[in-house]
Amino acid sequence: MKTVFKIVGATAVVAGVYLYSRKETPQEFVEQAKSTFNDRKQKAADWKAAYDDFKKLMNAFTAQMPALEKTINDISRDVDKAMFKIQPRLDEINKYTDKLK
């Protein structure tokens, strides 16, 4: 029982010194603690909402990957076809530019 009184007394002294050093009343301290708690609670809720939105959008992006890969493959195939058709002309141009050097 003595230990409990010692702990409570020490806590009261430390709290008193803390409040005195900050020049605030216990009510101001409680209001500030409430405000800080509510602010952090709101920030945690905002973070959770943002994280949930991120997960939702990442799932939508992942669902679109097959279509994206198909489109990239189609574009790559079209570029390869165009390069195949253009390559002889580029070789001719390079031959003439080499002669000019």
Q: Report residue 22 as tokens.
A: 């900050």
What b/e sequence results for 9-20 when a residue is b if at least 16 CB atoms lie within 10 Å of its CB, and e otherwise?
eeeeeeeeeeee
Which pLDDT does position 13 carry in this prediction? 78
Which pLDDT does position 30 carry in this prediction? 81
Q: Could you tell me the sign of the dihedral formed by the alpha carbons of 9, 10, 12, 13, in that order?
A: positive
**Taking a C-beta distance cutoff of 8 angstroms, is the pair 24, 17 a contact?**
no
Which pLDDT does position 20 carry in this prediction? 72
**Number of Cβ atoms within 10 Å of the Cβ of 34:** 10
Which pLDDT does position 23 carry in this prediction? 80
**Against a cut of 0.75, is the pTM above it?**
no
Q: CA-CA distance, 63 to 65, in Å (whole number)?
A: 6
Which pLDDT does position 82 carry in this prediction? 92
Task: Collect all residues with Cβ–Cβ distance below 8 Å to 37 and sequence separation of at least 6.
Answer: none
Q: Which residues of the chain, if any, have pLDDT below 50?
A: none
